[in-house]
């Protein structure tokens, strides 16, 4: 590994093969971060993103792991440090999004959502703090954490828990490690909605009356990275959707 690579900071982005995770990984690469690109089953997409990231002149090291199941967080962090030693940032983005009302929710739904959205971020933060001693964690929650959408009960309950975990971890891990969150609104067409006018219609339902874009998420992440006096914050990047619209 070159001396320049040793000097660069690295970032672990979970669920980085597609959509929000992909955009965040590419945005961090453009800032000069080496990227540890986590994925579970999306190998084809991950390898495509890897090529794009490497065009930014940084290292991109794929890492596969099922974070929704039982895994060894200490081993994951150890692997990250072998792949890109100067680990300074974790973005806990990996997510599942499946409709389940309360009476439809099964134990498996609960375990998978809390495993991926709460248990994995918690233990990755713990092992990151132990191994690295300083740095920054950014958790990706959801604009809906301020609401009660019962169509996605297990998903939203676990994201609300991640929202609270962000504050608890920030209070516990300072001053050496900052912990923040972003809460995205609609920045992509939903995978299960083929209505070409979805983003336009969604824009009409929020205070700023404009369509979301992945680039707005990266602007928020850049702010959180660049401001050393911010921790325990959740930045809503949703055009005001969390205000009750």
pLDDT of 245 > 60? The answer is no
CA distance 13 to 89: 8
CA distance 175 to 88: 14
Could you count the other beta carbons within 10 Å of the beta carbon of residue 31?
A: 16
pLDDT digits (tens, 9 = 90+) for 168-177: 999 999 999 9
- The CA radius of gyration of the chain, in Å to the nearest whole number, is 17
Instruction: Give the pLDDT of residue 197.
Output: 77
CA distance 188 to 213: 7
- Judged by average pLDDT, the poorest of 69-73, 77-81, 202-206 is 202-206
**DSSP annotation string for 133-146:** SSEEEEEE--GGGG
Instruction: Give the pLDDT of residue 73.
Output: 98
Q: Where exactly are the structural domains of the chain?
A: 3-243
Under 8 Å between Cβ of 93 and 13 = yes
Give the chain's mean pLDDT: 93
* Bigger pLDDT: 4 vs 50: 50
190-216: average pLDDT: 82
pLDDT of 205 > 70? The answer is yes
Instruction: Give the pLDDT of residue 130.
Output: 98
Could you check whether the bond before residue 189 is cis, i.e. omega within 30 degrees of 0? no
Instruction: Give the pLDDT of residue 194.
Output: 67
Closest CA to 92 of 108, 77, 105: 77
Confidence of residue 3 (pLDDT cuts 50, 70, 90): very low
pLDDT of 6 > 60? The answer is no
Terminal-to-terminal C-alpha distance of the chain: 50
- Judged by average pLDDT, the poorest of 13-27, 54-68, 169-183, 190-204 is 190-204
pLDDT digits (tens, 9 = 90+) for 133-159: 999 999 999 999 999 999 999 999 999
CA distance 25 to 169: 23
Under 8 Å between Cβ of 118 and 68 = no
Instruction: Give the pLDDT of residue 186.
Output: 86
56-71: average pLDDT: 96
pTM of the shown model: 0.94
Could you count the other beta carbons within 10 Å of the beta carbon of residue 45?
A: 16
Confidence of residue 202 (pLDDT cuts 50, 70, 90): confident
pLDDT digits (tens, 9 = 90+) for 178-201: 999 999 998 876 766 667 677 888
Under 8 Å between Cβ of 170 and 164 = no
Element (H, E) at 44: helix 43-54
Token pair of 36 as six digits: 């540890």
* Domain covering 3-243, topology: Rossmann fold (3.40.50)
Kindly tell me the burial class for residue 197, based on how many C-beta atoms sit within 10 Å of its own C-beta (0-12, 13-18, 19 or more).
Answer: exposed
Instruction: Give the pLDDT of residue 4.
Output: 54
Token pair of 128 as six digits: 């990151």
């Amino acid at each position: 590994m070159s001396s320049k690579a040793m000097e660069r900071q690295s970032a672990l982005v979970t669920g980085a093969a597609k959509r929000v995770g992909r955009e965040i990984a590419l945005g961090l690469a453009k800032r000069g971060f080496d990227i540890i690109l986590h994925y579970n089953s999306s190998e084809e997409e991950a390898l495509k993103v890897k090529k794009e990231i490497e065009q930014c002149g940084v290292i991109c090291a794929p890492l596969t792991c099922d974070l929704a199941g039982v895994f060894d967080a200490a081993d994951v962090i150890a692997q990250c440090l072998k792949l890109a030693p100067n680990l300074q940032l974790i973005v806990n983005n990996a997510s599942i999004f499946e409709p389940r009302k309360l009476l439809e929710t099964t134990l498996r739904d609960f375990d998978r959502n809390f495993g991926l959205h709460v248990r994995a971020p918690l233990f990755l933060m713990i092992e990151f703090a132990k191994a690295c001693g300083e740095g920054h964690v950014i958790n990706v929650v959801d604009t809906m954490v301020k609401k009660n959408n019962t169509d996605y009960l297990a998903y939203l309950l676990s994201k609300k828990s991640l929202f609270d975990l962000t504050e608890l971890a920030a209070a516990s891990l300072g001053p050496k490690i900052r912990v923040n969150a972003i809460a995205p609104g609609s920045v992509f067409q939903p995978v299960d909605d083929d209505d070409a006018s979805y983003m336009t219609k969604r824009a009409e339902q929020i205070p700023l009356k404009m369509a979301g874009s992945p680039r707005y998420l990266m602007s928020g992440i850049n702010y959180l990275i660049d401001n050393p006096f911010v921790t325990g914050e959740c930045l809503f990047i949703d055009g005001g959707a969390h205000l009750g619209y």
